[in-house]
């Protein structure tokens, strides 16, 4: 058995000196404290991402992406301790006393990095009552962390610089203003939002979140009734440009026209929409589609976008002499979104002539 040393040895000796009743009381208090902390943590927004600290000119500030309010947009936050350390070199005793005095006198306490009295006249009322100086508590594992909206950083730095320009700072505070200037210079060419997204890794998730919103807007949850969407002119132009005779009085078309339509129409609606529509197509026992792709488009956004693209595509076909000419114009004027499309073997090296 390993013998305890140092503080552990002293703690063990103290525990042995306590009575049974006293040890029980201490244990109960510790359990109650853990329970209270657990209840508090359960009510707080949690950290979604927190990979690396925000790094500005060698100054490190812990940052995180946390849950949004009422399932809203995720919030980008900087820890109060991190901002205070970046500007003040730590949570200075004077700043903490000033913050406590504000609270004791019934005033909304300013964060420690704005607590020095010399800054008060440079902090306007709108800022004090606004969202940027509203502390945000969130759960980081088993810890409760206090942070602020990340956009507060340049605002705070500007306050310190205005105070220095007005000669309001004490001599020992000038180095704090110098740090504020360094941070402001580092922020001059890049936004704080982008920096936090990069540091936390949220920039990798943000495009997926944007794609989810696009698909929600374009792709309907329920199958809509079939209504003719593609005008006869659309098919007449495809037949013409591919050197084929257009059959009057019938709706039959070469099977590969469906692949052409996927390429020249559906891939140009919005990012991810064509792929999502294909995945939602119901198939029969012979693996043939039971409905058309456009029956899955939303009425208010997806359908109008389809009609707009169809009009553009048909007009470009009418202005073209052959299929390659049309495709060149189409790709320039209505480019497809970057989605890999598997073409059937017989048209994988399509020359635009009839098959």
pLDDT of residue 102: 55
pLDDT of residue 161: 95
Q: How far apart are CA 141 and CA 135, in angstroms?
A: 19
pLDDT band at 68 (very low <50, low <70, confident <90, very high): confident
Tens of pLDDT along 3-44? 555 555 555 556 666 677 666 666 666 655 566 666 777 778
Structure tokens at 93: 């005793």
Specify the range with the lowest mean pLDDT, choosing from 54-63, 147-156, 339-348: 339-348
Tens of pLDDT along 118-130? 998 999 888 888 8
Tens of pLDDT along 94-107? 555 655 555 555 55
Cα 169 versus chain centre, distance = 39
Contact 297, 218 (CB under 8 A): yes
Residue 285 has pLDDT above 80, yes or no: no
User: What one-character-per-residue DSSP string does 160-202 give?
Assistant: HHHHHHTT-S-GGGHHHHHHHHHHHHHHTTS-HHHHHHHHHTH
pLDDT of residue 92: 55
Residue 313 has pLDDT above 90, yes or no: yes
Cα 240 versus chain centre, distance = 46
pLDDT of residue 355: 47
Structure tokens at 39: 């209840």
The rounded percent of the chain whose pLDDT value lies above 70 is 77
Q: Which residue has the higher pLDDT, 2 or 65?
A: 65
| Domain boundaries defined on the chain | 47-200, 214-347
pLDDT of residue 287: 72
């Amino acid at each position: 058995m390993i013998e305890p040393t140092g503080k552990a040895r002293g703690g063990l000796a103290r525990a042995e000196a306590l009575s049974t009743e006293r040890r029980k009381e201490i244990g109960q208090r510790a359990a109650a404290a853990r329970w209270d902390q657990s209840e508090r943590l359960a009510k707080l927004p949690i950290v979604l991402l927190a990979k690396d600290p925000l790094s500005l000119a060698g100054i490190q500030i812990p940052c995180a992406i946390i849950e949004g309010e009422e399932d809203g947009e995720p919030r980008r936050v900087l820890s109060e301790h991190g901002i205070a350390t970046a500007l003040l070199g730590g949570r200075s005793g004077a700043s903490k006393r000033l913050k406590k005095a504000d609270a004791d006198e019934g005033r909304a306490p300013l964060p420690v990095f704005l607590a020095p009295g010399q800054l008060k006249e440079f902090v306007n009322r709108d800022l004090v009552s606004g969202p940027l100086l509203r502390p945000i508590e969130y759960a980081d594992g088993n810890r409760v962390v206090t942070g602020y909206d990340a956009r507060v950083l340049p605002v705070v730095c500007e306050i310190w610089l205005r105070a220095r320009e007005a000669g309001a700072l004490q001599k020992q505070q000038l180095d704090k203003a110098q740090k504020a200037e360094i941070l402001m210079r580092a922020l001059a060419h890049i936004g704080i939002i982008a920096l936090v997204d990069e540091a936390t890794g949220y920039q990798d998730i943000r495009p997926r979140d944007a794609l989810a919103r696009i698909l929600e807007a374009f792709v309907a949850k329920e199958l809509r009734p079939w209504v003719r969407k593609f005008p006869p002119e659309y098919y007449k132009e495809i037949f013409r440009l591919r050197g084929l005779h257009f059959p009057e009085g019938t709706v039959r078309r070469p099977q590969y026209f469906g692949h052409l339509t996927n390429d020249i129409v559906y891939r140009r609606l919005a990012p991810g929409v064509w792929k999502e529509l294909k995945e939602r197509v119901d198939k029969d026992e012979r693996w043939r589609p039971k409905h058309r792709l456009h029956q899955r488009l939303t009425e208010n956004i997806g359908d109008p976008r389809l009609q707009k693209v169809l009009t553009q595509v048909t007009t470009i076909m009418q202005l073209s002499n052959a299929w390659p000419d049309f495709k060149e114009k189409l790709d320039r004027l209505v480019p497809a979104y970057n989605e890999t499309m598997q073409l059937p073997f017989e048209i994988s090296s399509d020359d635009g002539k009839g098959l």
